[in-house]
Amino acid sequence: MSVVPAGTLYRGKVGMWSWVLHRVSGVAIFFFLLVHVLDTALVRVSPEAYDIVIQSYKTPIIGLAELGLVGAILFHGLNGVRIILVDFWSKGTRYQNAMFWIVLVLAVGITAYFTPGHLERILEF
């Protein structure tokens, strides 16, 4: 027996893909945060230890990963607001589709706006 869903708020289309992106970005930020608390903790070891490890954040490869992090945190945060509006706002379900595209445009737009300056800083290093 095969069931072909026409797509609901959460299955197929925007509802599902926003969920996938929200999950993947949440996990990525979580693992970044685990490392980030440890690297910040190096200020209690010595200024030398902290500065040496933070140097690696200024290299081209990790610098590029930081662009991904900025995009992920923007998407996850803004889409989180969308989820909250779907749950608590009476018109949330009606506008969930439009809100997804607003979230995506804002996340991509702000990341793109930040990219040139950041690239300049990590590449001249």
Partner 1 sequence: MSVQIEIPNSPRKEKVTNWEKYGWLYMRISGPLLIVLIFTHVFVNLFTGEGIKQIDFAFVAGKWADPFWQWWDVSMLWLALIHGTLGMRTIINDYTEKPKLRTGLVGTLWSVSGALILLGTLVVFTFDPCPATADPNLLPSFCEAIASN
Under the rule (CB under 6 A), what is the footprint of ligand HEM?
A: 22-23, 26-27, 29-30, 33, 36-37, 40-41, 66, 69, 73, 76-77, 80-81, 83-84
- Supply angle C-alpha 88, 93, 98, rounded to 5: 115
Q: Which of residues 39-78 bind partner 1 (CB under 8 A)?
A: 40-41, 43-44, 46-48, 50-51, 54, 57-58, 63, 66, 70, 73, 77-78
Q: Which is nearer to ligand HEM, 27 or 123 (CB)?
A: 27
Rounded distance, CA 81 to CA 110, Å? 17
Rounded distance, CA 75 to CA 67, Å? 12
Structure tokens at 55: 């140097």
Instruction: Residue 123: name its binding partner from partner 1, ligand HEM, none (Cβ under 5 to 8 Å by kind).
Output: none
